Amino acid sequence: MDRFSQPALFFFLLVLPTLWIISSNRRASAFRNGLGDTPPMGWNSWNHFGCNINEGVIRETADAMVSKGLAKLGYTYVNIDDCWAEMSRDRKGFLQARSSTFPSGIKALSDYVHAKGLKLGIYSDAGYQTCQGQPGSLGNEYKDAATFASWGVDYLKYDNCHNDGTKPEVRYPIMSKALLSTNRPIFYSLCEWGEDNPATWASSMGNSWRTTGDITDDWSSMISRADQNNAWSSYAGPGGWNDPDMLEIGNGGMTAEEYRSHFSIWAIMKAPLLIGCDVRSIGNDALAILSNAEVIAVNQDSLGVQGKKVKKTGELEVWAGPLSGERVVVVLWNRGLTSSASITADWDDIGVSPSAACMQPRDLWQKQDLPPVCGSLSADVSSHGVRMFVLDRTS
């Protein structure tokens, strides 16, 4: 067995992965619409554009997703957020695209996005109005779901503003059933901001659920969303994912080091990777972060177990989780403000038997294999930075 004794190898290969999976199996019966086996990847208009959207922006974004290589990395959804609709329904009670900004209509836009090999997402609300005052879907769920399906929509973000005061557990299942009734696969993203602990109930009706309030493009907002989402790590898995909100990378409010931390933690948490900047004019640093295929592979790993915070010493943290192929991903995160620091992950911190001898680390940001390490992994980490590794057992 080379470096592994038989008992240690049995524990590492069989017992420990089983314990991780058991600890991640608190979910209710999963919603199955054939989507969400891995977290969704794509783009959403809100973080950068807010209400300043139009069909030209969406078409140009789809073009840029392809031309900048993001589509081939798996970023397939192009999602329109609030402010796409007229402020009232038509005479027959149907939603209609805002003629001043989407004159060609959503179906034409969907056809354009699909022709690029991408998918189109849209936004509505489990209330009478959306957060920005356009018509919501409360009381019109089946009509609106049928409309979205007829337009070729592939993803629905469903918000929680201006509702009737009933619990989201009452309102969100109605749209879930309505979407299923269309016989079109539409990814269902619940966005009730984590107010009623959706991780404990939403997996029976949707593909993802917000565990936090809205993110903003700053360090304190990002780390607080990470911590809130971490609390629900055992409830995520294939078909349904915890959502700490969209990515801010490229919007300019954080440093490149901080954005690498943002992307690494979202990846290990199996969060949806929804780009929130203007990809048409994205800078090289932000594009490089979002294009790291090895970090993306962690997020899209087929085992589908959300990594979590496993050790905290002041502002120094270790996050870890199991991956397919008997591997482990580790993020060493220095949340301190002023100086670099050495962070150590011991084998028992990260779910590896202490007697499992040596592991082969792959540094995902340096994109290089490092010499085998035995019993623990240590690295110097810059302030507000991360080091991210995948550990494989040595042969």
Q: Is 111 a catalytic residue?
A: no
208-210 and 241-243 strand pairing: parallel
Q: Which of 159, 194, 206 is nearest to 33 (CA)?
A: 206
Find the catalytic residue in 214, 285, 346, 363: 214
Q: In terms of Cα–Cα distance, which of 178, 103, 104, 123 is closest to 146?
A: 178
Secondary structure (3-state) at 123 = strand
Q: Which two tokens stand for residue 381?
A: 């980490």
Centroid of chain to Cα 314: 27
- 201 in the Ramachandran plot: left (φ > 0), alpha (ψ -120 to 50) or beta? alpha
Which of 154, 159, 217, 278 is catalytic? The answer is 159
Give the Cα separation of 314 and 349 in Å (integer): 16
- Paired tokens of 176: 């879930």
Cα–Cα distance measured from residue 374 to residue 112, given in angstroms and rounded to the nearest whole number: 53
245 among known catalytic residues:
no
Q: Beta strands of the chain (E only): which ranges?
A: 41-44, 77-79, 119-125, 155-159, 187-190, 208-210, 241-243, 273-275, 308-313, 316-323, 327-334, 341-346, 358-363, 368-369, 373-374, 376-381, 386-393
Catalytic center residues = 159, 214
